[in-house]
Copies of this chain bind each other. A is one copy, B any other.
Amino acid sequence: MKAAIMGYGTIGSGVAETLRVNHDVIAKRVGEPIELKKVLDLREFKGDPIEPLIVHDYKDIVNDPEIRIVVETMGGVEPAYTFVKAMLEAGKNVTTSNKALVADKGAELIRIAREHDVNFMFEASVGGGIPIIRCIESCLTGDVIEYIAGIVNGTTNYMMTDMAEKGADFDAVLKEAQAKGFAEKDPTADIEGYDATRKIAILTSLVAGQQVDYNDIPTEGITHISVADMKYARKIGRKIKLLATSREVGNTYSCRVAPFLVAPESPLYNVDGVFNAVFLHGNILGDGMFYGSGAGKLPTASAVVGDIVRMAKHLNKNIPIEWGEEKLELADPGLDRYRFFVRTTDDQSAIDTAFTEEVEYIDADIVPGEVGFITPEMEQREFDESVKKLPGTVSTIRLA
């Protein structure tokens, strides 16, 4: 059984390493060894053991009939999309770790795979080593998934944990995360929540069976979270986590990516550092949570190689995935209901006027001249109207 890797970066080299280190156990599970035959990369890798396998033109893989399984670990939509499409059309099975590609083109690539009796798999695109895609697509198929809340971005979870534990401010923590390799040089996609948005779009597409456009998902990053917010969180016994959420509403879902104040009763409360976790609620299952290393070379490679083994066992047999190309119209996020934490320099009479129902004041002198309070549960749009009447508002964070 011959395989190829497109993109020999961190993940791609992790996949090659896994195929080497676990060669025998993988061969036993598949029924024959999996041999890496070609590696597509722009670089030469002179002197590296991988050098003899390097090719620079993806057509060298497309046109190699021996290669039945292709791993895409390049990242980005193009040229990954062109390459993956060509591989599927050539009758090759493809697995990818590329959430941008899956969020954008997942439904189409699933259809092309089905039309060619091969498989397009993407376990590594969400939650790194956590097998959340398979759990949704192949295990929890007796359930209607009513709620998903995921900590699906390791960079921001590391930063939130660090801010909470050290009392350091956002910029200092970001610099340290970059120095340690936990944040990229350009951290925008992580800290603005764009990465998490693509991941919850993928999960929601799978549970709904239709295409979710991530551009429709209200997204708020963590850049505005301050040391004072962290102090308030600790005071009320909660932790601030960037959550990617999806909730069933009628025949559709309402999605959101934003920082939330997570209660200690939630299993997500203890998910710290670079770990990821996806909490979900099924109408039959009840609560479940899947926890693990959400990123990094080897955890992600673990998911990719799990796909390789599954595809090797189903070489010419498409395993149907319910994710059609029809667009899912998401529910109005203004109708989402939350309790909200608010910090403001407005006085109590202004607050009482802004909110018809009584709010709960936090008894803590964290920032001189401001108060912190928590609203009763209310609709997002109603909250937005109320908070407009408080010009002194410093920050607002939803509770979860």
Contacts and interface: CB of A to CB of B under 8 A. Distances in A.
Interface of A: 18, 21-22, 25-26, 28-29, 31, 123, 129-131, 134-135, 138-144, 209, 267, 269-270, 275, 282-293, 296, 298-299, 301-306, 308-310, 313, 317, 319-320, 322
Given A135-B131, A135-B135, A313-B320, A267 B284 contact: no
6 contacts: A22-B144, A31-B320, A129-B286, A131-B140, A142-B303, A289-B292
The 10 closest A-B pairs by CB, nearest first: A142-B305, A288-B292, A131-B139, A141-B309, A285-B302, A284-B302, A289-B291, A129-B285, A286-B293, A142-B306
A22 to B, nearest CB: 6
Nearest to A293: B286
Given A18-B142, A18-B284, A141-B309, 13 more contacts: A22-B143, A31-B320, A129-B284, A130-B288, A138-B138, A139-B303, A139-B306, A142-B305, A284-B298, A285-B299, A286-B293, A288-B290, A288-B293
Contacts of A29: 141, 322
A298 B322 CA distance: 24
A299 B284 contact: yes
Given A28-B322, A320-B313, A288 B21 contact: no
Contact of A283 (B22, B288, B289, B322): B22
Label chain A's interface by main secondary structure: mixed
Number of copies: 2
Given A284-B299, A285-B293, A291-B288, A134 B139 contact: yes
A142, A285, A302: most-surrounded residue (chain B CB, <10 A) = A142
A286 B290 CA distance: 14
Contacts of A299: 284-286
Contacts of A305: 141-143, 284
A54 to B, nearest CB: 23
